[in-house]
Amino acid sequence: MTTSIARLARRCEEFLDDDGRPLTIGYPTSLALCILDAIYATGSHPTAVGNVVDRYIAQHGTDDGAKSLRYSIAATGGPVVWAELVVCNLKPASTQPGAVLKAEVVDRATRVMADHGIDTVDDLLGAVGDDPFTCELSRSWLALPSQSSGISWMHLLMLAGSRHFEVDFRVACYVAELAETDVDLTVDYVLEQIDAAAQCLGVEAEVIERIVWQVSHRRILSAPDTSDFFAEVGPGFGDEMAAPAWGGLTETREITRAAPF
């Protein structure tokens, strides 16, 4: 086992319980919560996102679909009033002047789901198919205000339990922090490291993919204690674990698997 794999496994192990189950965030019974979390997660601290979800759950429970979320917003008096009274969060969707509230994006997202006949998590996963960036639903989601990067779309799918995984800029940078400086950082390399870490920990690769996605996108925060780690892997591995000076890293959603970043 290489040092980079040991480092990745150690970091991911923090997010596994004693039975090897992931401590990542997901809402397999509620598309409403998936939508809320996905839209509020970008540019927000995990605690703030958790507060939004918890406040919605306090009023509506844990099993709402997209339709119920839309009704909640309408019954309260619209996105602004709903943001004030239900989730208590008036954060805008971007830092651009005049940006709409994230609550408005949530409302529009529920309309997108209605337009495509989607209400539940199963409806969503069935509509996505094999390639989540070619379906009509994805194009509608990416057309929402400040959602064109695709990050919130991937958040949504991860929260819903989709098996699809995207090696984007942040995922690549996260793995690069742990890699030896002489490796060729490609999508294949990232996936190989994840597969090897999964084997090391005795879990499915999808479990490590979800952990890496949520940590690299700061939906869950990692603060591992590495004080005894270097003692385990042996001498010579206690050097700085700073990110190597990888060149040409650019954020993208469509990546050729063998292409370097």
What confidence tier does 167 reach under pLDDT thresholds 50, 70, 90?
Answer: very high
Burial category of 49 from C-beta neighbours within 10 Å (exposed 0-12, middle 13-18, buried 19 and up): buried
Q: Let me know if residue 259 belongs to a domain.
A: no
Residues 6+ apart with CB under 8 A from 105: 39, 93, 144, 145, 146, 147
**Has residue 140 been placed in a domain?**
yes
The reply to whether 202 falls in a domain is yes
Among 125, 160, 195, the domain-final residue is 160
In terms of residue numbers, what domain contains 141?
31-160
Q: Verify that 153 and 187 share a domain, yes or no.
A: no
Q: Is the pLDDT of residue 250 over 50?
A: no
Residue 48 in tokens: 């703030």
Nearest to 213, CA basis, from 259, 256, 155: 155
Q: Do the domain assignments include residue 7?
A: yes
CA distance 250 to 261: 7
In whole angstroms, give the CA distance from residue 90 to residue 181.
43
Q: Are 61 and 156 in the same domain?
A: yes
Distance CA 99, CA 150 (A): 18
- SS3 category, 84: helix
pLDDT at position 66 over 60: yes
Please tell me whether residues 156 and 170 are part of one structural domain.
no
The verdict on 63 and 148 lying in the same domain is yes
Q: How many domains does the chain have?
A: 2
- Provide the pLDDT for residue 223: 57
**Domain identity same for 132 and 183:** no
Do 52 and 17 reside in the same domain of the chain? no
Contact in structure between 12 and 208 (CB atoms under 8 Å):
yes
110/127 same-domain check? yes
φ, ψ of residue 61 in degrees (nearest 5):
85, -170
Average pLDDT over residues 169-176: 94
Does one domain contain both 122 and 182? no
pLDDT above 80 for 243: no
Domain boundary (125, 142, 160) is at: 160
Residue with tokens 């999808």: 206
Please indicate, yes or no, whether residues 72 and 175 belong to a single structural domain of this protein.
no
Are 141 and 55 found together in one domain? yes
Q: Of 160, 195, 219, at which residue does a domain stop? A: 160
Sorted by sequence, the CB contacts under 8 Å of residue 78 that are 6+ apart come out as: 107
**Residue 243 domain-assigned (yes or no):** no
Whether residue 37 sits in one domain with residue 77: yes
For 218-259, the DSSP string reads TSS------TTHHHHH-TT--S--PPP--------SS--TT-
pLDDT at 55: 98
Give domain status of residue 48, yes or no: yes
Average pLDDT over residues 167-177: 93
One-letter amino acid for residue 1 of the chain: M
In a domain, 248, yes or no: no
Pair (126, 174) in one structural domain = no
Backbone angles phi and psi of 222, in degrees to 5: -105, 130
CB of 136 within 8 A of CB of 129? no
pTM of the complete model? 0.84
Confidence of residue 254 (pLDDT cuts 50, 70, 90): very low
Contact (Cβ atoms closer than 8 angstroms) between residue 116 and residue 140: yes
Q: In the predicted model, is pLDDT for residue 256 greater than 60?
A: no
The answer to whether position 192 is within a domain reads yes
